[in-house]
Amino acid sequence: MRQRGPHHLLSMADLDRDGIEQLLNLTESFAEVGERPIPKVPALRGKTVAWLFYEDSTRTRLSFETAAKRLSADTMNFSVSSSSVNKGESLRDTIETISAMGIDGIVVRHSAAGVPQQVTQWTEASVINAGDGWHQHPTQCLLDLFTARTHFGDLEGRRITIVGDIRHSRVARSNALGFATMGAKVTLVAPPSLLPSSLEGWPVAVCHNLDEALEDTDICYLLRMQLERQKQAVVPSLREFHNEYGLTVARADRLRSDALIMHPGPMNRGVEIAGEVAERPQAVIGEQVANGVSVRMAVLFLLLGSGLDVVDNNRIAA
Amino acid sequence: MSADDVSRAVRRMAHEILERNHGADQVMVVGMQTGGVALAQAIAEAIENIEGTGVPVGTLDATMHRDDFGLRPVVPEAVTDIPVDPSGRVVVIVDDVLFTGRTVRAAMDAIHSYGRPQAIQLAVMVDRGHRELPIRPDYVGKNLPTRIDEIVDVNDEGVDLGEMA
**Statement to judge: residues A256 and A296 lie in one domain:** no
Per domain, the residue ranges of chain B are 3-163
Calpha distance A198→A184 (Å, rounded): 21
**For residue B17, which of B97, B103, B95, B121 has the smallest C-alpha distance?**
B121
User: pLDDT: is B50 or A231 the higher one?
Assistant: B50
Task: Catalogue the long-range contacts made by B138-146 (C-beta closer than 8 Å, 24 or more residues apart).
Answer: B138/B16, B138/B20, B138/B92, B139/B13, B139/B16, B139/B17, B139/B92, B140/B13, B140/B98, B141/B1, B141/B6, B141/B9, B141/B10, B141/B13, B142/B1, B142/B5, B142/B9
Which of B79, B85, B115 is the closest to A29 by Cβ?
B79
Evaluate if residue B43 carries a pLDDT over 60. Answer: yes
Percentages of chain B per state (helix, strand, coil), in multiples of 5: 30, 30, 40
Instruction: Specify the CATH number for the domain of residue A19.
Output: 3.40.50.1370
- How close B110 gets to chain A, by Cα (Å)? 8
Q: Say if CB B58 and CB B94 are below 8 A apart.
A: no
Cis link prior to A266 (omega < 30° from 0)?
Answer: yes
Helices (H), A87-222: 91-100, 115-119, 138-152, 170-181, 210-214
State which residues form the domain around A223: 140-288
Q: Which residues of B touch A71 (CB under 8 A)?
A: 64
**Residue A279 confidence (pLDDT):** 95
Q: Which residues of B touch A29 (CB under 8 A)?
A: 61, 63-64, 76, 78-80
In a domain, A46, yes or no: yes
**Residue A309 confidence (pLDDT):** 67
**Statement to judge: residues A98 and A170 lie in one domain:** no
**For residue B107, which of B73, B57, B66 has the smallest C-alpha distance?**
B66
**Residue A87 confidence (pLDDT):** 73
Evaluate if residue B164 carries a pLDDT over 70. Answer: no
Backbone Cα Rg of chain A: 19
**Statement to judge: residues A149 and A284 lie in one domain:** yes
Q: Is A231 a catalytic residue?
A: no
Which of A28, A43, A308 is the closest to B79 by Cβ?
A28
Subunit contact A39:B65, Cβ cutoff 8 A: no
Which of B61, B79, B115 is the closest to A37 by Cβ?
B115
Using a CB–CB cutoff of 8 Å, tell me whether B108 touches chain A. no
Q: Which of A2, A26, A27, A32 to mutate to test the interface with B (most CBs of B within 10 A)?
A: A32
Question: What CATH number is given for B3-163 in this structure?
Answer: 3.40.50.2020
Calpha distance B42→A150 (Å, rounded): 30
Share of chain B above pLDDT 70, in %: 99
**Statement to judge: residues A69 and A164 lie in one domain:** no
Subunit contact A40:B113, Cβ cutoff 8 A: yes
In a domain, A317, yes or no: no
Window 1-60 of B, Cβ < 8 Å to A: none
Calpha distance A76→A49 (Å, rounded): 6
Total of domains in chain A: 2
Torsion, Cα A272 A136 A66 A304, to 10 degrees, reads 160
Global pTM reads 0.91
**Statement to judge: residues A165 and A202 lie in one domain:** yes
Give me the total of CB pairs closer than 8 Å, taking one residue from chain A and one from chain B. Answer: 55
In a domain, A79, yes or no: yes
Using a CB–CB cutoff of 8 Å, tell me whether B72 touches chain A. yes
Q: Which of A3, A35, A306 to mutate to test the interface with B (most CBs of B within 10 A)?
A: A306
Beta-bridge partners for B27: B90
**Residue A310 confidence (pLDDT):** 64
Q: Which of B75, B84, B105 to mutate to test the interface with A (most CBs of A within 10 A)?
A: B75
Using a CB–CB cutoff of 8 Å, tell me whether B76 touches chain A. yes
Using a CB–CB cutoff of 8 Å, tell me whether B113 touches chain A. yes
Subunit contact A38:B74, Cβ cutoff 8 A: no
Subunit contact B69:A43, Cβ cutoff 8 A: yes
Using a CB–CB cutoff of 8 Å, tell me whether B74 touches chain A. yes
Ranges under pLDDT 70 in chain A: 1-6, 82, 229-233, 309-318
Q: Is A109 a catalytic residue?
A: yes
Q: Is A70 a catalytic residue?
A: no
**Residue B76 confidence (pLDDT):** 87
Nearest CA in chain A to B73: A307
**Residue A7 confidence (pLDDT):** 86
